[in-house]
Amino acid sequence: MIKKIKVSAPGKIILSGEHAVVYGYPEILSAIDRRIFIETEETGLGLDVQPVEGKLIVEQAIEIFKAKLGVSRLKNLKIKISSQIPIGSGMGSSAAFAVAISAAFFEFLKLPKNLKKINEIAYEIEKKQHGTPSGGDNTISTYGGFLLYRKETENIKTFLSLKTKVFSSIFLINSGKPKENTGEMIKSVRDFLSRSPQKVEKFFREIEQVTRNFLRFFSGEELDFGSLITRNERLLEQLGVVSPKTKILIQKIEKEGGFAKISGAGGTKENSGIVLAYHRDPNVLLKLAKVEQWDMFKVKLGERGV
């Protein structure tokens, strides 16, 4: 009997530190209860990937496994992909895919489940997609929970699992897929840094301070979670990664006593991807989303990894 291998990996949100992480500053990420699922079986009929849009990434993953581990058994496979994570929204769909396919191949090859190696290969797959990713997205998808992540250099990446309280009323609003991709948004900030190095470095240092205040909040200090979200959002706006349309959405939440920020690379032309929203009374957000007809859904943070 042909054995089917089933693997899943979570998407993510960034609580603090996006864009600054590219320049060696820390970020805090959380795995969420939206996942990508991969089902793999051996067929003897070549490589069949459904949906076919995932085939290129699967082929790249196979090449990386050959190069890194010297394996050549990944030829005759049927791979079925399904996802709860919107593509291009800042929720780490490509990283979750990279982690899930890496873990599926480890299981198919009967290799011991080694999270460090699964993560390393997922990072190589991500590099094929994005050039110079921070590595944070694949790391949170591999290990799950909450992570403090920092990319010191290409070869030195550090992360720390964070123990924290459960957040029961975090919502995500899909503001729409940005017209820009992640690489274009990173270049936009890099260009701003070239033009105004002192100003942008100051923003990065202030973002790092917000990240460290989140750490203090996680460790039990009486800090206001909502205010940290708002401060982070203002700094991202000053970096120029939030569109006017998304700013209006966030202002509507703030007017009702809530807090919101983009999560991810953002976008300036029209949409900015996913927006994290929080209110001490979740019903206020639910009513507002209904009136505004937002695509809003509740998520659990700190979910398990691959």
Judge whether 263 and 14 are in contact, CB under 8 Å: yes
Cis, peptide link before residue 51, omega less than 30° from 0: yes
d(CA 258, CA 280): 7
Residue 64 amino acid letter: I
d(CA 297, CA 287): 13
Instruction: Report residue 237 CA to chain centroid gap.
Output: 19
Phi-psi region of 46 (alpha: psi -120 to 50; beta: other; left: phi over 0): left
d(CA 59, CA 37): 18
d(CA 204, CA 291): 36
d(CA 228, CA 240): 19
d(CA 29, CA 180): 22
Residue 97 amino acid letter: F
Going from the C-alpha of 52 to that of each of 46, 60, 99, 194, the distances in angstroms are: 14, 14, 18, 40
To which residue do tokens 């997609």 refer? Answer: 129
Active site residue 137: yes
d(CA 285, CA 271): 20
Check 48, 137, 191, 224 and give the catalytic one: 137
Of the candidates 246, 265, 134, the residue with the CA atom closest to the CA atom of residue 187: 265
User: What DSSP state is assigned to residue 271?
Assistant: -
Catalytic residues: 137
